[in-house]
Amino acid sequence: MSVGAIAFMAVSWTFVLGLTAWSFAKLLTDQKHFDPDGIGPESPPEPPHAKKRG
């Protein structure tokens, strides 16, 4: 392989691994509120309460 090809491959792998690390870091950071889409509520929705029969 030529020096240019090795340099290109090294830069490409650095970019891919950096983007992967950035994505995992962004996903695993502790968030103060539940907001998966950026516009949602500050807390997760509560499950519906079942009505008592009888």
pTM of the full structure? 0.52
pLDDT attached to residue 3: 96
Structure confidence by residue, pLDDT tens digits, 1-54: 899 999 999 999 999 999 999 988 888 876 665 566 666 666 666 666 656 565
Q: How far is CA 13 from CA 8, 16, 19, 20, 25, in A?
A: 9, 5, 10, 10, 18
pLDDT attached to residue 12: 98
The residue type found at 27 is L
pLDDT attached to residue 51: 62
Cα(46)–Cα(33) distance, rounded to whole angstroms? Answer: 14
